[in-house]
Chains A and B, each alone.
Chain A
Amino acid sequence: MNKIPAFIVCAVLVFWTPAVFASDTADITFNELLITANSVDSGGEFLDEEPDFLKEEAEDEKKEDIISVADPLYYWNWSVFHFNDKLYFWLLKPVSEAYRAVVPRQVRSGLHNFFYNIEMPVRFVNCILQGKIEAAGDEFARFVVNSTEGILGFDDPAKNYPELKQGEEDFGQTLASYRIGNGIYIIWPLLGPSTLRDTIGMAGDRFLKPVSYIEPLELSMGVTGLGTINATSFKIGDYETFKKAALEPYEGLRNAYIQNRQKKIRE
């Protein structure tokens, strides 16, 4: 999942945070709305021109700084979104389903643990870069326990020590903790939704992933592919549910990605 053509990363080097102007406009409409609204209490909740929740949402929006992201590459993103969508339904899903049918659950689970364990350097280094020494210690301890007692990481005995917390730090989040904004929204073929910042993050993390040092390149890609298929075999159906629930899947995915990243950065 980490093959990013270096030239694309180098090509774009401008950051900006679009959140400010986006939430500004929202505020204006909300304020106008609050000023002009005269609430009609009689006649049920649907007649109410200014129900409580509108006010609350307006306040929440101010408090929680809801981030939106600029999308100047809309046409590229839109086509890649559809490409990835087809890729999932026509290739990844059938392959993962077959894989799930053939490979026993214990093996898949072991592989999942193994891939998680060997990516420890990514999480460890980023914990340190974010100054989370405690979390870095936890990552390290987990790695040690799982690599020894867990036989090279195929088992997960560290889960018996709940004080060793499991984190999901990456370089994109590290950059965010240095107050670097999202930049623009980009969807990559195969890799899925990302932003300029998170793309640079992915490129940085690549250096810390042991898998990318495998030679030859074909083998490295094969291993990455196996990891992807293995991971997908545990969550077949999730993307389908998302698509089924969404009216505008493109917009829905973009919003979900940004919200999810926002949460991870907060943690």
Chain B
Amino acid sequence: MKKTSIETSVGIFVMIGLVCVAYLTIKLGKMELIGDNNYPVYARFQSVSGLKKGSHVEMAGVRIGTIDSISLDKESKALVKMKIEKGLLLTDDVIASVKTAGMIGDKYIRISPGGSDVILKPGDMITETESAVDIEELISKYVFGGVLKYKKSYEQEEKSVKKTAVFLLCVFFASVSFSSDRGPMDSLKGPVDEGIRLLSDPKYKDPSLKSVQREKIWEIVRKAFDFTELSGRALAANWKTLNPPQRKEFSEVFSEVLGNSYLDKIQGGYRDEKVEYIGQEMVSDTKAVVKTKIIREKGEIPVDYSMKLKDNNWKVYDVQVEGVSLVQNYRSQFNEILSKDSPDELIKRLHKKLKEQKKGETK
């Protein structure tokens, strides 16, 4: 390199450096992130009507922070950034609710303490939220008979709205009862948390108990997943080419293969990975996508669960890992096999795969 070009590049580098410093000063300076006594925590609400920038965040009636900003996120929900005093630790299961001081007072956010021992880091999201309840709207919904629909369209704080609705109805009309079904995210959380509990249970460190642990996890998975639907969807158009007994056998072997493939990974590779629930999207009244993230040692893996409401239970019928749908991936493989071979051959290959997997385990 010539001397002049070195000088030029040094000059450019210094310029970039200056721009960087200017950028830092402006962007970070405005956000008061340096030398600040607060740390940011986020929460997503269906509605924060009445809440203002600068409103208080309280816990047990004591002021612990303020609202830094309120914005609308991609899913048309209110994203609230709170600044919490440093030194005050919140656990990941606290509940943030929009409350009113007195009957017609100012709105504020109340944080109800949780019981978990996972501490929220700066910038984390509070997943459990309760929105501002619009009493007027609730009453009018009831009057016009729209409460049921209302219940379905509101997802995350469904429960709280329902509770309020039930309360109101009881107050006004004394004898109305409500059926209560859990939302898709809660239906998923239960089994996943149970699974993680089993995985981190020190009792199962003993290698001889591994199969017991595995059996227990498998049971939980079986309850949370709808393997019949999953196999049907993976076959798609090919479903027609299988006769009923074949379909049954296929679904059984396929779910075993799936279970074997991933249980090993979960059991062998579990190193305190954390599952973070991002939220849920209702596709229709009976279908939803629950978005989660697995936080690993290095990086995160987005995992989305497609769920369907069947007999009052939300069950998983597809999983998308980094955008790769399990069902679609297997469908392409099954199509490939069925374009050359018969359904019987496909089932035979699944059996063979299962045998291989079992052999691998004993080794």
Contact = CB atoms under 8 A, between A and B. Distances in A.
B295 to A, nearest CB: 11
Contact of B232 (A53, A112, A245, A252): A53
Interface in B238-259: 239-240, 244-245, 247-248, 251, 257-258
A49 B229 contact: no
B247 A46 contact: yes
B355 interface: no
B28 to A, nearest CB: 8
Interface in B117-141: 122-124
Contacts of A46: 228, 244-245, 247-248, 251
Given A237-B268, A241-B264, A247-B337, A140 B244 contact: no
Contacts of A44: 244
Interface string B256-288: 011011101100110000000000000000000
Contacts of B24: 141, 144-145, 148
A251 B350 CA distance: 16
B333 A255 contact: yes
Contacts of B297: 105, 109, 234
A105 B349 CA distance: 40
A254 B332 contact: yes
Given A237-B265, A252-B332, A140 B23 contact: yes
A91 interface: no
B264 A244 contact: yes
B332 A251 contact: yes
A160 B122 CA distance: 6
B100 to A, nearest CB: 29
Contact of B336 (A49, A160, A251): A251
A45 B228 contact: yes
Interface residues of A, number: 49
B278 to A, nearest CB: 13
Interface stretch (B161-169, B174-182, B319-327): B319-327
Contacts of A241: 261-262, 264-265
Chain B CB count within 10 A is highest, among A33, A255, A260, A266, for: A255
A18 to B, nearest CB: 14
B232 to A, nearest CB: 5
Nearest to A44: B244
A141 B40 CA distance: 18
B298 A162 contact: no
B360 interface: yes
Chain A CB count within 10 A is highest, among B239, B251, B350, for: B239
A105 B272 CA distance: 15
Nearest to B304: A263
Interface residues of B, number: 56
Contacts of B245: 46
Given A46-B247, A46-B248, A264 B237 contact: no
Given A234-B297, A246-B333, A255-B332, A141 B27 contact: yes
A234 B298 contact: yes
Nearest to B40: A162
Contacts, number: 120
B329 A259 contact: yes
Interface in B303-326: 317, 322-325
Nearest to A147: B20
Contact of A260 (B244, B247, B322): B322
Contacts of A256: 324, 329
B327 to A, nearest CB: 8
Contact of B258 (A30, A37, A68, A245): A245
A51 B269 contact: no
A9 interface: no
A251 B42 CA distance: 41
A29 interface: yes
B210 interface: no
Given A234-B298, A252-B332, A259 B324 contact: yes
Given A245-B258, A247-B353, A263-B322, A30 B336 contact: no
B237 A29 contact: yes
A101 to B, nearest CB: 15
B357 interface: yes
B127 to A, nearest CB: 14
A252 B124 CA distance: 35
A33 B237 contact: yes
B233 interface: yes
B328 interface: yes
Contacts of B337: 247-248
Interface string B202-240: 000000000000000000000000001100110011011
A98 interface: no
Interface of A: 26, 29-30, 33, 37, 43-47, 49, 51, 53-54, 57, 66, 68, 105, 109, 112, 140-141, 144-145, 148, 159-163, 234, 237, 241, 244-248, 251-252, 254-256, 259-260, 262-264, 266
18 contacts: A33-B237, A46-B245, A49-B240, A53-B232, A54-B232, A54-B239, A109-B298, A112-B298, A148-B20, A162-B42, A237-B265, A245-B258, A245-B261, A247-B349, A255-B329, A255-B333, A260-B323, A262-B323
Q: Which 5 A-B pairs have the closest CB atoms?
A: A263-B323, A245-B261, A162-B123, A255-B332, A248-B333
